[in-house]
Amino acid sequence: MKIPNRLLNDGHLIPKIGLGTYQIRGGQGIDQVLSAIQDGYRLLDTSTNYDSEGIVGEAIRRSGIPRSEFFVTSKLPGKYHHYDDALLMIQESLCRMGLEYFDLYLIHWPLPKIGLYVQAWRALITAKKLGLCRSIGVSNFEPEHLDKIITETGVTPVINQIEIHPYWIQKKLLRENEKRNILTEAWSPLGRGNSILQEKIITDLSEKYQKNVGQIVLRWHVQRGVIPIPKSSNLNHQRENTDIFDFSLTSKEIDAINSLSKPTGRIDNQDPNNYEEFD
């Protein structure tokens, strides 16, 4: 399946859907990423925190597909926000992956209470100048964090990767990203396979379009201008999750899915203003 692309604000292209790799690990993880690649995935999302950088790099090599066809993303852990540490970590991550550059490198969480994310952003800017990353962006940034790095460095991220699924639709932050010409990626786009997929609105649409519930939710993301990165280690799910470019939901149906949103809809209550990373 050939996945279409979108244009980033720095002129590079990014696939409209990618593979998340949180909890894909080890030898079996290599096979799981490889099956996704063989199925057409080119955007592969990893992070130092996932312990999957090595296996994602290995799957790329085993695929035999030229490096240039991939769009590889990794993320900077919070404990490396100091400028010098960040630059070293980016190089260490590239070594773990066995790659010479990242297509996209993100600050994983802003950690505003620690308050070093502007330093980290300066390191990403330098890494881009050095050719270690083609594009640079952020994850879990709120508008005030975006404005701070843009004002202090003059460089706008290409992507803000944030939690989005039908229980947490992020209407306001989507608009804020758009206003700044930043594309939005959705993490946990399927709500980690929770009860979202059993909601009647979703199951009715699944019947109407003869698409499964995951495909309905992923199509909803794409039509909202969002790039979802569903994780799946299951070959059938991987295949189904990219088969979403041959049908369209109506704007009423998009609104109906939006209405599933809850004020406390985050999966794990990970508020970027308070969330501390796990190591």
Ligand X SMILES: O=C(O)C(=O)[C@@H](O)[C@H](O)C(=O)CO
Ligand Y SMILES: NC(=O)C1=CN([C@@H]2O[C@H](COP(=O)(O)OP(=O)(O)OC[C@H]3O[C@@H](n4cnc5c(N)ncnc54)[C@H](OP(=O)(O)O)[C@@H]3O)[C@@H](O)[C@H]2O)C=CC1
Q: Which residues bind ligand Y (CB under 6 A)?
A: 20-22, 45, 108, 139-140, 161, 187-193, 197, 214, 229-234, 237, 240-241
Distance, C-alpha 194 to centroid of its chain: 19
| Euclidean distance between the first and the last CA atom of the chain, given in angstroms as a whole number | 37
The dihedral through the CA atoms of 137, 190, 254, 3 has a sign that is positive
Which is nearer to ligand Y, 98 or 193 (by Cβ)? 193
Measured from the CB of residue 193, what is the shortest distance to ligand Y in angstroms?
3
Measured from the CB of residue 192, what is the shortest distance to ligand X in angstroms?
9
Q: Is 165 annotated as a binding residue?
A: no
Answer with the entry of ligand Y, ligand X, none that 278 interacts with (C-beta below 5 to 8 A by kind).
ligand X
Binding site for ligand X (CB under 6 A): 22, 47, 268, 270, 278
Three-state SS sequence of 236-269: HHHHHHHCCCCCCCCHHHHHHHHCCCCCCCCCCC
Which is nearer to ligand Y, 130 or 194 (by Cβ)? 194
> What is the four-CA torsion angle of 38, 40, 43, 48, rounded to 10 degrees?
-20
Answer with the entry of ligand Y, ligand X, none that 177 interacts with (C-beta below 5 to 8 A by kind).
none
Helices (H) and strands (E) in the chain, counts: 10, 10
Supply the DSSP symbol for 74: E
Told to judge if 83 belongs to the known catalytic residues of this protein, a careful annotator would answer no
Which is nearer to ligand Y, 151 or 264 (by Cβ)? 264
- Find residue 220's DSSP bridge partners: none
Answer with the entry of ligand Y, ligand X, none that 240 interacts with (C-beta below 5 to 8 A by kind).
ligand Y
> Which parts are annotated binding residues?
108
Q: Which residues are catalytic?
A: 50
